[in-house]
Amino acid sequence: MVTGQSGLFTQYNIQKKAMTVKEFRQLANSSKYCTPRYLDYEDLERKYWKNLTFVAPIYGADINGSIYDEGVDEWNIARLNTVLDVVEEECGISIEGVNTPYLYFGMWKTTFAWHTEDMDLYSINYLHFGEPKSWYAIPPEHGKRLERLAQGFFPSSSQGCDAFLRHKMTLISPSVLKKYGIPFDKITQEAGEFMITFPYGYHAGFNHGFNCAESTNFATVRWIDYGKVAKLCTCRNDMVKISMDIFVKKFQPDRYQIWKQGKDIYTIDHTKPTPESTPEVKTWLQRKKKLRKPPKSLQGNKPLCKRPKPEEDEEFAEFSGEEGANPAMGPRHLKVTEKP
């Protein structure tokens, strides 16, 4: 459910009963929820913002699992082999949707509100099949400007939590961003394409119709400095918090002691590219390769994880939907939402 006006909205998610993908697809294509006729993507975007508060759609969001084949290593979101793997290797911690993949079944007008990723990590999103997904993205160097704008427009939310945008409830239209001079990019992701978001890169967007996407987070050594200063939500118990100690100790050993003393003063350059590698990463990868075990099966009791199916077999999943305007394989293209 979405409330608001004049380009400023708040969305609320209401848990709905579980349904199969076949049932969800039928619902998404029904006269009540189907995509309206449109001339082009710009026309559909106008219809989205005009009708945002009417007929709350249902989003099959945050479903733990993957539809990649178990034996696939290439382009497999569940096996990115990045430094974020340290969380599970060293701490034995698995965080659903962060270092494991999540599935998202969308319909027209289902939305993800303005946010950065947990701990300001990178994210990767692959659109398996179905209708496109439109994204808005703000360059990381302008993230503070969006936060100040949101604080001004949503003062009660801001007073309740310094990091209220992590609640993923706030929608600000592109027309408002333009009015206040906040630069942003628009991009539309088609089926078979990847989308990458960068650390502290605010993004939001919506689905054009019935589709299925898979996403997770990942990290590079460049992210570590972002993780150390990420502003976290403290008003909710379910927010993700990752200790940065192991990352600094393992990948920034020369800065570990001064970081522990609170003297590691570092100004992040949002335009600085990620180094191809470092000696610490090379050592970790070599050790990881030697100790590598056969991959854990993603299979489980849920039909969703049992076996991958093509789009035509629609009864391979059951999930609980959320009512609200919210939230082998190879890519055709790689789309990037922000500059590193």
The CATH number assigned to the domain holding 167 equals 2.60.120.650
Region 11-29: mean pLDDT is 95
The residues, any chain, with a CB within 8 Å of residue 56's CB and separated by 6 or more, are 1, 2, 14, 323, 324, 325
What is the reported pLDDT for 291?
A: 75
User: Is 233's pLDDT higher than 60?
Assistant: yes
Q: Please give the Cα distance from 43 to 133 (Å, whole number).
A: 14
Confidence of residue 330 (pLDDT cuts 50, 70, 90): very low
- Residue 195, domain extent: 2-336
User: Is 267's pLDDT higher than 80?
Assistant: yes
β-pair partners for 197: 123
Task: Compare 90 and 290 and report the one with higher pLDDT.
Answer: 90
Give percent of the chain above pLDDT 70.
86
Q: Which of 130, 128, 119 is nearest to 101 (CA)?
A: 128
Give percent of the chain above pLDDT 90.
70
What is the reported pLDDT for 315?
A: 37
DSSP state for residue 295 in the 8-state scheme: P
* Catalytic residue list: 97, 104, 115, 117, 203, 215
**Average pLDDT over the chain, rounded to an integer:** 87
What is the reported pLDDT for 266?
A: 87
Region 218-228: mean pLDDT is 96
What is the reported pLDDT for 92?
A: 85
User: Is 303's pLDDT higher than 50?
Assistant: no
Q: Please give the Cα distance from 27 to 143 (Å, whole number).
A: 37
Task: Compare 32 and 273 and report the one with higher pLDDT.
Answer: 32
What is the reported pLDDT for 322?
A: 54
Task: Compare 123 and 287 and report the one with higher pLDDT.
Answer: 123
User: Is 332's pLDDT higher than 80?
Assistant: no
Confidence of residue 274 (pLDDT cuts 50, 70, 90): confident
String of b and e for 150-170 (b: at least 16 CB within 10 Å)? beebbeebbeebebbbbbbbb
Region 99-112: mean pLDDT is 97
What is the reported pLDDT for 11?
A: 96
Q: Please give the Cα distance from 198 to 267 (Å, whole number).
A: 17
What is the reported pLDDT for 251?
A: 95
User: Is 319's pLDDT higher than 60?
Assistant: no
What is the reported pLDDT for 275?
A: 81
Task: Name the 3-class secondary structure at 172.
Answer: strand
Confidence of residue 331 (pLDDT cuts 50, 70, 90): very low
Count of domains forming the chain = 1
Q: Please give the Cα distance from 205 to 133 (Å, whole number).
A: 7
User: Is 336's pLDDT higher than 60?
Assistant: no
